[in-house]
Amino acid sequence: MSATQAGDQAAWSVHGVVPDVVPSAPAATATINWGPSASAVQCNLGNELTPTQVADIPTNVMWSGSNEKLYTLLLVDPDAPSRKEPKFRNWRHWTIVNIPGNDLAKGETIAEYIPSAPPENTDLHRYVFLIYEQDNKIDASTQKKLTNRSADGRGGFNVAEWLPSVGGSNWPLVAGNFYAAKWDAHVPKVYEQLKG
């Protein structure tokens, strides 16, 4: 392991993502950004971004995925509604399964993307991307589809319980990344969207 890889993995513990979300850091850091490549906003192991900057689906999500394998992408907020009282820990913001290689467009979305929307006066929330390598194809028809027009079924998502329910007891966490965000003027727009 290189010094860079060791430093990247250490960041997961420094920011408390290990153990709040996963028991250990992923093997690699995924590249995740929003906007045109020349001026892209990048997720970088705990850097602070604003809800406005991440309002749309990321334009680029990349990891060293094999085209012969399938992957699952999760995005969760372990600090819902606040880091001091995370009673909805791991609020699920996005889930795509059966991703061939790292071609998200060919995966099956079971929880549509909802951007960061931390409540006012709750300080920074962590937003964590997790990418698992599947050893079986998920029957997505058995999963409740979550629309981006409702918060139903999002709060209190338990990654460790959900993985075995879809056959992922031994799936390796091959990549991930995370950023932090706090309330800004875009958040009320997200709340309006969630009213359907």
Q: Is the pLDDT of residue 39 over 90?
A: no
| pLDDT for 48 | 98
Task: Assign 3-state DSSP to the chain and report helix, strand, coil percentages, each to 5.
Answer: 20, 30, 50
List the domain range (segments joined by +) for residue 185: 3-193
CB 90 within 8 A of CB 154: no
For residue 90, the Cα-to-chain-centroid distance in whole angstroms is 9
Q: What would the pLDDT profile of 134-185 be if each residue is shown by its tens digit? A: 999 999 999 999 999 999 999 999 999 999 999 998 999 999 999 999 999 9
In 10 A of CB 102, how many CB atoms?
Answer: 22
Distant-in-sequence, close-in-space partners of 80: CB < 8 Å, separation ≥ 6: 86, 87, 88, 89, 90, 91, 125, 155
Q: Name the pTM for this structure.
A: 0.96
Give the mean pLDDT of 17-41.
92
3-state secondary structure at position 187: helix
pLDDT category, 3, cuts 50, 70, 90? low
Q: How many domains does the chain have?
A: 1
Which tokens is 126 given? Answer: 């962590």
Cα separation, 7 vs 194, whole angstroms:
37
CA atoms within 13 A on the CB side of 5: 7
Helical (H) or strand (E) element with 11: helix 3-14
Compute the distance between CA of residue 79 and CA of residue 93 in angstroms, rounded to an integer: 12
Q: What is the CATH number of the domain that holds 91?
A: 3.90.280.10
